[in-house]
Amino acid sequence: MTTYSQLAQQIIKHVGETGNIEHITHCATRLRFTLKDKNKVNPEALYGLPEVVKLVDSPSQFQIVIGPKVDQVFSAIKELLGEQTPVAEETTAQGSWVSRLLATLSAIFTPYIGVLAGVGVVKGIVVLLQTMNLVDTHSYVFTVFNALSSGVFVMLPLFIAVTAAERFKTNKFTALALTAAMIFPLTDPGVPGAFHIMGLALNVKIYGGAVIPAVFAVLFLSYVERWLKKIIPELAAFVFVPCLSLIICGFVVFTLIGPIADYVGVGIANGYAWLYNLSPVISGALLAGIGQLFVVFGVHWGIIPLALINIQVNGYDTIMAMFMSAVMGQFGAAFGAIFIARNLKDKQIAISASISAFFGITEPALYGVNLKYRMLFVFGCIGAALGGGITGLLGVKTYSFLPVLNVFELGLFSGPDSKMIYEVFAIIVAFTVPAVLTIVYGKTRKLVASPAS
């Protein structure tokens, strides 16, 4: 039996066994459980496991911070759950509507966040090839790179279909068929841009990269499918449940749900833009300054839909430009800790955490270094606020989605109103200030010698 299998068995045991697990997903560093009864969790035993860095008991999920090995641990857990699948039970979602919303967003978006991060790097390569005129934009090489970097975001509803179907407990292949139908008009030049029905203009070519319409389409499908399964005889259900589900949902989505959800998305993007434009400097400083608190409480993935909606509606986003400074602030604080560590173990932890933060994964820096020595986290937030204020002041935008914030995706700040150089300046400030503050404070106050309780 492998180490990961043994660890997976222990985690399942200490979260209340298989029957207590309603849903599990993961992000870059965390296992995210939706549990039926959190009282069955054994925190002391979980903390005793070698790979467990931190437990985060948020209202929406029970999260176990593992670190870079989370994917292997998740796979081992899923394999064991497949062998010991509990009897399906109807459960009532617990917590406030905010908690349920955050849990739903996390379940829908986190499973493929790694792919989006990888594609973001490829997109950065495409931008560099284009802006530096390294290849002909009609060449084979550029065409392949462009397809690899753009296909995921145009076809994003297909990704949403899979995870939303799992979350809403409906057939994922029917969900894929429904969202594929939403995207299809974009592939056929013969389909008109809009249809005029009863005085209403229905645009069927607006769902490439659509977030809210895809989520609500699959949610509606889950209700229709369950209703059809109740009224269609089992003998005919195999064919007619998906057939009628697609017909009913297709017309409702294209006629009602899709257009309304699209307007909701536009409203959200415009509402965010209005708040941001009240004072870009204050907005940038505030959001970047508290950005890593979202990570501490495990709700940072709730920001993803907002950034995606901004990209879809406006063609650019500003919130991820601010959050880049939030990451670099904690990176700077952890990096500074390398120079004030009083023993080899502390230095090794700070080096490892800094490497992870450099690649945009801040949990090891937060839990292993910065929160442990309180003021380092504060210094990171100060640097982040300064960097965020700069991005707001100078109107820095990103022209593609940044799921993981690191220097390898700086190319995505290049666009029609490119201010990439200002983003570079902002993250240098966000990194340097906490690094210097940490070194100075650590040398004068012997900070690392007395960690916070």
What does the DSSP assignment read for 250-313? Answer: HHHIIIIIHHHHHHHHHHHHHHHHHHHHH-HHHHHHHHHHHHHHHHHTT-GGGGHHHHHHHHHH
DSSP strand pairing (194-197 vs 30-35): unpaired
Query: Which of 240, 271, 302 delimits the end of a domain?
Result: 271
| pLDDT for position 110 | 77
| pLDDT for position 98 | 67
Check whether residue 293 and residue 437 sit in a common domain: yes
Check whether residue 440 and residue 315 sit in a common domain: yes
Asked whether residue 106 is domain-assigned, the answer is no
**The tokens 């497949």 sit on which residue?**
82
Asked whether residue 453 is domain-assigned, the answer is no
Q: Residue type for 78, please?
A: K
Check whether residue 156 and residue 50 sit in a common domain: no
**The tokens 């994003």 sit on which residue?**
156
DSSP strand pairing (194-197 vs 62-65): unpaired
Q: What is the pLDDT of residues 298-327, one digit of tens each?
A: 667 677 788 888 988 888 999 989 999 999
Q: Look up 243 and say whether it is catalytic.
A: no
Check whether residue 311 and residue 166 sit in a common domain: no
Q: How many whole angstroms separate alpha carbon 98 and alpha carbon 108?
A: 15
CA distances from 168 to 22, 90, 349, 407 (A): 12, 12, 40, 36
Q: How many whole angstroms separate alpha carbon 272 and alpha carbon 269?
A: 5
Query: Which of 27, 60, 88 delimits the end of a domain?
Result: 88
**Which helix (H) or strand (E) is 9 found in, with range?**
helix 3-14
Q: What is the pLDDT of residues 33-92, one digit of tens each?
A: 888 888 899 988 998 888 888 888 876 688 888 877 888 888 888 888 875 544 333 344
Query: Which of 227, 249, 271 delimits the end of a domain?
Result: 271
Check whether residue 169 and residue 287 sit in a common domain: no
Check whether residue 293 and residue 407 sit in a common domain: yes
Asked whether residue 63 is domain-assigned, the answer is yes
Q: How many whole angstroms separate alpha carbon 252 and alpha carbon 237?
A: 21
CA count, 13 A, side-chain hemisphere, 250: 16
Tell me the CATH number at 46. Answer: 3.30.1360.60
Asked whether residue 59 is domain-assigned, the answer is yes
The pTM assigned to this predicted structure is 0.76
Check whether residue 436 and residue 289 sit in a common domain: yes
| pLDDT for position 450 | 45
* CA angle at 171 for the pair 168 and 177, rounded to the nearest 5°: 110
Check whether residue 219 and residue 312 sit in a common domain: no
DSSP strand pairing (62-65 vs 30-35): antiparallel
| pLDDT for position 360 | 84
Check whether residue 267 and residue 392 sit in a common domain: no
Rg (CA), the chain: 23
**Per-position pLDDT tens, the chain of length 453:** 458 888 989 999 999 888 888 888 887 788 888 888 888 999 889 988 888 888 888 766 888 888 778 888 888 888 888 755 443 333 444 556 667 777 788 788 878 877 887 888 888 888 878 777 888 888 999 899 989 988 988 899 999 999 999 989 999 999 999 999 999 999 888 888 788 887 778 888 888 888 899 999 999 999 999 999 999 998 899 999 999 999 999 999 999 999 999 889 889 899 999 989 999 999 999 999 998 888 877 667 677 788 888 988 888 999 989 999 999 999 999 999 999 888 888 888 889 889 988 988 888 888 888 888 889 999 999 999 999 999 999 999 998 887 778 888 888 888 787 788 999 999 999 999 999 999 998 888 754 444 443
| pLDDT for position 29 | 80
| pLDDT for position 91 | 42
Active-site position among 27, 243, 249, 381: 27
Asked whether residue 185 is domain-assigned, the answer is yes
Q: How many whole angstroms separate alpha carbon 84 and alpha carbon 33?
A: 16
Check whether residue 303 and residue 383 sit in a common domain: yes
| pLDDT for position 231 | 94
Q: Residue type for 338, please?
A: I
Check whether residue 346 and residue 409 sit in a common domain: yes
* Structural domain count, the chain: 3
Asked whether residue 118 is domain-assigned, the answer is no
Domain that holds residue 371: 279-444
Asked whether residue 395 is domain-assigned, the answer is yes
Check whether residue 331 and residue 431 sit in a common domain: yes
Asked whether residue 369 is domain-assigned, the answer is yes
